[in-house]
Amino acid sequence: MMKKKVAIILFLTLVLAGYSQDPTAWRGPTRDGIYPETGLMKEWPANGPEVLWSFEELGKGHSSAIVDHGFIYATGMIDNQGNLFKFDLKGKLVFKKAYGPEYTSSYVGTRGTPTIVGEKVYLMSGNGKLYCLDGGKGSMLWSKDLLKDFDGKNIQWGMNESPVVDGEVVYITPGGKKYNLVALDRHTGKLIWSSPGKGELTAYCTPLLFEHNGRKMLATHTETQVVGFDALTGKMLWSQTHTNDFAVHPNTPIYHDGMLFYLSGYGSGGGMLKISDDGNSASRIWTHKKMDSRIGGAVLVDGYLYGSGDSRLWCCYDWKTGREMYTSKEIGNGVVIYADGMLYCYSMMGELALVKADPAGFKVVSKTKVLMGSEQHWAHPVIYDGVLYVRHGKALIAYKVK
């Protein structure tokens, strides 16, 4: 018992020590697709927002760009090797550094978006390797093979996850029987704790770290389950079954006011869980089928959820009740983020639309087409200092939206 108490005290020390360096993470500062920008255009020019610059030599990949302290980071595969790119805000390439082999079997290229904390960059390859690189020079600091070191197993379309960092700890999901979810020292990669969870394979999902009534928790999808963990100990607290035909669940859940929303594609839709006051259990309170987004996520704005579905639907639901507010087929289904009263929708057909966040209807204000780049339109856009960054395969494009 004494050893366990000492381990918990050490873990808390590691977490609290890193609060001064907030991570820059996938889908924005709160990891939920909400960007705290203001003064953005409420309507774009007829030909779309001005392209400030573009870079068309990223190589193959579906990962998003990420912006941290005046620099932009992106990953791409060239000659089967994954590369970390760093740009300044004017699009000048600062460096390109190879970090190791990338995924070459199906929908090839880079997947998980990097996470930046201070001068360190954390990223995961489609082959299941977790890397920590120096953000200043791009040099390798440490790496872990999740398949060999933690009993993981790769999945049908390659592992995809953006490392979650909190304080001095990085969380990642190897998907092993024993090491299902792990917490590592972010400076060394040393194991702090591991949880067997449900013993299922990982499912392309970046976990959500959140605080519920003063308790730090993690929620994620595995093959057939939505699972909740205590973030300090790794104890699995609850699970709820949620399946689809391909065990593909890339959308990070959304937490608000004691409730957790989850969704995935292939006709499975999503639903809402109410977490008990102590966090030890969760019960399902509503479900739906139409917002069955495979990869596009959703956003919660003023009590309403906005997102898309596989059948080219855009949907809006009441957060508390699950009531459907509208559906629309005005543009193709895809990714959604939010800033300054507007939805930024990037469809799988390459449409980029500015839509008013209004539960009364899907109101497209402006629309353009992403013409640069290659292959699938899957990466999630990013907004930073009045600029919208869109990654499309080999291209990274900076649009002026302020």
Domains of the chain from N-terminus onward = 2-400 (2.130.10.10)
Beta bridge partners of 160: none
% of residues, the chain, pLDDT over 70: 95
pLDDT at residue 21, rounded to an integer: 63
Q: Mean pLDDT across the chain, nearest whole number?
A: 95
DSSP 8-state secondary structure symbol assigned to residue 99: E
* Amino acid, res. 196: P
Helix (H, G, I), strand (E, B) or coil at 291: coil
Could you tell me which residues come within 8 angstroms of residue 8 by beta carbon, excluding any fewer than 6 positions away? 232, 233
Q: What is the pLDDT of residues 356-392, one digit of tens each?
A: 999 999 999 999 999 999 999 999 999 999 999 999 9
% of residues, the chain, pLDDT over 90: 94
CA 55/CA 40 separation, integer angstroms? 24
Q: What is the pLDDT of residues 15-53, one digit of tens each?
A: 444 334 678 999 999 999 999 999 999 999 999 999 999
pLDDT at residue 311, rounded to an integer: 87
The answer to whether the beta carbons of residues 386 and 82 sit under 8 Å apart is no
What is the average per-residue pLDDT within 306-334?
Answer: 96
Distances (CA, A) of 304 to 261, 268, 330, 353: 11, 20, 19, 19
Q: What is the pLDDT of residues 256-289, one digit of tens each?
A: 999 999 999 999 999 999 999 999 999 999 999 9
